[in-house]
Amino acid sequence: MSKEENVYLGIELGSTRIKAVLIDGGYETVATGGFDWENRFENGIWTYHLDDVWAGLQDCCRPMQKEYGSIGCIGISAMMHGYLAFDKDDNLLTGFRTWRNTITGEAAEKLTGAFGFNIPQRWSIAHLYQAILNGEEHVKDIAYLTTLAGYVYYELTGDKVLGIGDASGMFPIDSAAGDYDAGKLAKFDALIEDKGYGWKLADILPKVYSAGEGVGRLTPEGAKLLDPSGDLKEGISVCPPEGDAGTGMVATNSVAERTGNVSAGTSVFAMIVLENELSKLYPEIDMVTTPTGKPVAMVHCNNCTSDLDAWIQLFNEALALFGVWPEKAALYEGLYKAALDGDPDGGGMFSCNYLSGEHATGFEQGRPLFARLPDSNFSLANFMRTLLFSSLATLKLGMDILTEKEFVKLEQLLAHGGLFKTEDVGQRLMAAALNVPVAVMESASEGGAWGIALLAAYAGQKSENETLEAFLAGRVFSKMKVTRIDPDEKDIQGFTSFMERYKAGLAVERAAVDNLTIREVGGS
């Protein structure tokens, strides 16, 4: 079988769903699988259990079983950042601390000052340094520190590696060198020299590869982890694992300079590939990279649709009381589209969607809130519009820095993620919020799983010296259908009015965090 006749399997472990996508040699989807899961809030930590990782991977790969013999390459992607620390015997030293945690403020602030480079709370190095500052006993025993994608890849192949995009959410990257920033590695080692640990930071971090490099092989043990039946055979190529930001860039053909994309689901983030470095450090802006190491300005917000999803589930329960059980997709479509009939500003109401903390606005914890004034126009359409606006508000604050202070020009943003599954609605409101055209490709619903499948195909198909940018533009997206929505002036004005209310309402959110205590499980 030639390379072009192979199929390519992409798997992404997202925040609420593990998804597998199988594509053919022409990059068309031939099979999909999925597994729903949720993060857990245990002992003050947002986490996932690693047993759930493997149950989910096995479940979502099962629909691909008849194609196992034709798989040319596998790609693994997952939520970026977080903290997975193992000892020399591969024992997990502490529960998986996900990107959603906002418990590393002291470490992030000190590292940002030491490096002269923004280190967000969710980055792996911030979690590590916070554990050191806390005096946590396990740190001395660390032999390997990685992300979720890196952990899965290691279990499948035995190789401790990361794609450069995912690595850029662990520790700062030197794009010219295509590796961790050597100067900052030395600074970190100097910071902790007095601790007497038996490791240097470079010793415990994964090896870094750009897209198409460092392809590993599925081991017999790894094949059994994905497919306990034994139909999946060892030896299949596995491309370097990537983070969900990188696969989002690939899935929207946004890996070249002056391109950008936005992903909106449980979290929301925008990625802008830069021509030049930013003029200064901004705490609200992360500097990461594309899967080939190009510098990217990332505006990341922990909270997007979780609160919105909770309200929709409440509507679902209300309908069930009257014997109505709509399909999930139909329920979302109906409620989302109702928002288009609302007042431009959402009827004068306020919503803050912070289920968890939000670093971009300085919140260590979240308290979802909804408020209306006595003269608000309280209707279903305005209620839904307000919830949707709230999902985009924090992203707007970060994007204003790029467009108004750094004068970054954007011709359009390519969008993907759950917010855009309902036709027009997410696109139209995002375009209004950011005042930029928003485009969705026909592949958008497949999201990052399709993106990592494309990286697997690139590793398996690329010709000598063929760049990822050329591969995507020339082979994959040249005939792709794109739907674009330009900002509507009334929507822009309405969102601007909502943002004035939102900014004022953050004081209410602060009071809620300070005064409303999260009850213990089983409490009254």
pLDDT of residue 1: 37
Is residue 141 exposed (0-12), middle (13-18) or buried (19+ Cβ within 10 Å)?
Answer: middle
pLDDT of residue 3: 46
Angle at 334 between CA 331 and CA 335, to 5 degrees: 85
pLDDT of residue 4: 52
CATH number at residue 136: 3.30.420.40
Angle at 10 between CA 95 and CA 147, to 5 degrees: 25
Contact 234, 223 (CB under 8 A): yes
In a domain, 196, yes or no: yes
CA distance 381 to 375: 16
Angle at 397 between CA 283 and CA 109, to 5 degrees: 15
H helix intervals, 420-477? 425-434, 447-461, 468-471
In a domain, 184, yes or no: yes
List, for residues 301-354, the tens digit of each pLDDT value.
Answer: 999 999 999 999 999 999 999 999 999 999 999 999 999 999 999 999 999 999
List, for residues 477-518, the tens digit of each pLDDT value.
Answer: 988 888 999 999 999 999 999 999 999 999 999 999 999 987
In a domain, 410, yes or no: no
Contact 274, 255 (CB under 8 A): no
For the chain, which residues score pLDDT lower than 70? 1-4, 443-446, 519-524
Tell me the helices (H) and strands (E) count for the chain, helix number first: 16, 24
What pairing do the DSSP bridges indicate for beta strands 237-238 and 242-243?
A: unpaired
- The pTM of the full predicted model, rounded to 2 decimals, is 0.79
| Number of domains observed in the structure of the chain | 1
Helix, strand, coil % (nearest 5) of the chain? 40, 20, 40
In a domain, 333, yes or no: no
In sequence order, the β-bridge partners of residue 293 are none
In a domain, 12, yes or no: no
- Structural domain containing residue 139: 81-146+171-204
User: For 312, what's the count of Cα atoms within 13 Å in the CB-facing half-sphere?
Assistant: 23
- State which H helix or E strand residue 147 sits in: none
In a domain, 183, yes or no: yes
pLDDT of residue 444: 55
In a domain, 191, yes or no: yes
CA distance 18 to 328: 18
In a domain, 370, yes or no: no
